[in-house]
Amino acid sequence: MSRSEYPKQFLDILNTGRTLIQATFDRFAEFIPKENIYIVTARQYINIVAQQLPEARPENILYEPSRKNTAACVAYISYKLVNLNPDACLICAPADNIILQPKVFEKICADALNFTHYIKALVTLGIQPTYPNTGYGYIQYEEPAVAENIYKVKTFTEKPDLELAKTFLLSGDFLWNAGIFVWQIRSIIQAFEKHLPEMHEVFDAEKDNFNTPAEEEAINRIYPQCVNISIDYGIMEKAENVYVMPSSFGWSDLGTWASAYENLEKDYLGNAVSGKNVVVIDATKNIIQADNDKLVLLQGLDDFIIVDTADVLLICKKEKEQEIKEYVAEIKRSKGDKFF
C-alpha cells in the first residue's frame, strides 16, 4: 500500500478517517500552537502535505532537496529556528507513528520539555517493551533516575536478533527506541558542532539566509554536502548528555502488518478487515485490506496478510512477513520498478 509516490504517512491504514500524518499533527496541535508546528518532508511530497494539512502554515512546510536521513532533517529545522528563538525547545517526531493514548503522550512531552528547558540534555522517549521485537532499536538506561522518570542512557542497540531481544526484555532496563526526541535548540546545535562538525559547518555558513527569501537556495547548496546519517548514529550514540524517559502511551511505528493487525479492530474470529465489501468465510486471524468498491471473498485462510490494491495483490502468511522485503527485491529484479 505504501508506494514511493504515496508512502504510508499519507494513508489511513487504521480506518480512523485521518491519515497517519494528519493524526500526528492533530496530536501535537492539542498542546503546541499550530504556528509552532513544522513539517520537514521531501520535495515531491510538498503538495500532498499541504493538501492533507490545510491547518499548517504554508511557510511551515519545509522540503529537503534530497534524502539524507534524519540528521540533516533535524539540522535543517534547528538552524532555521535558532535565529527566531535561540531559547526554544524542540520535539522531533516521525509522521507515521501510532499513539493510542495522546493525553499520556502529552504529559510525557511536557515533562521532557520542562527538563530540557533547565538541563542541557538530549532526551529520547523509550517505550516499555511488551515482547521481544526484532524490528525496533533498543535503549539501555542506568539506575538511579536523575529526575522523576528520567534516566541516563547507557547503550543503544539496533534491531537485535530474537535471542538478544529476549535477553533485553528479561533484563528490565531496556526500552524500544521510538525515535521521538526533545531538546533545546542550543543543545542540539552544540551536539552537531561536536559530533557532526562537517554538517554543522555547512549549515552554520548559511545561517544568515534562513528565514529569508534566500533560504531555498541555501538549502540547495547545503544538502549535497551533507553526509547520509541518522540522528541516532550521528549524535545520540556519541553524546554524553543523553537521557531517556520510559514511556507507555500506546505507541507503534506501524512498520509491519503485524503491528497494524495489533491496532485494528477485529471480528469475533480475529480478522482485521478494511474494506466495505469484504466477505470472510471460515477464516481466522487474518488482516485484509481492500478497496471499498471491490468485492473480496476470503475462505479457509488462517493467519494471512491479504492486501488488494488497484495493481498489486499480496497474499502472505503472517509469519513470513519479514521475508516480504526479499520478495520485493526479487520482483524489482524481474519486473522493474513499475509497481513501486
Tell whether 142 is covered by a domain. yes
Same domain, 78 and 205: yes
Q: Are 134 and 218 part of one and the same domain?
A: yes
Residue 177 shares a structural domain with residue 306: no
- In 3-state terms, what secondary structure has residue 136? coil
Between the alpha carbon of residue 125 and those of residues 25, 89, 111, the distances in Å are 18, 15, 11
101-110 contacts, C-beta under 8 A, 24 or more apart: 101/248, 101/249, 101/250, 102/27, 102/30, 102/249, 104/247, 104/248, 104/249, 104/250, 105/27, 105/247, 105/249, 105/251, 106/27, 106/30, 106/31, 108/245, 108/247, 108/249, 109/31, 109/182, 110/31
pLDDT by residue, tens only, the chain of 340 residues: 888 889 999 999 888 899 999 999 999 999 999 999 999 999 999 999 999 999 999 999 999 999 999 999 999 999 999 989 999 999 999 999 999 999 999 999 999 999 999 999 999 999 999 888 888 899 999 999 999 999 999 999 988 888 999 999 988 899 999 999 999 999 999 999 999 999 999 999 999 999 999 999 999 999 999 999 999 999 999 999 999 999 999 998 877 888 889 888 999 999 999 889 999 999 999 999 998 889 999 999 999 999 998 889 999 999 888 888 888 889 989 988 888 7
pTM of the model: 0.89
Q: Do 72 and 142 share a structural domain?
A: yes
Question: What are the backbone angles phi and psi of residue 314, rounded to the nearest 5°?
Answer: -115, 125
Q: How many domains does the chain have?
A: 2
Nearest CA to 102 among 20, 23, 179, 16?
23
Do 119 and 193 share a structural domain? yes
If asked whether residues 228 and 320 sit together in one domain, one would say no
Question: In terms of residue numbers, what domain contains 331?
Answer: 265-335
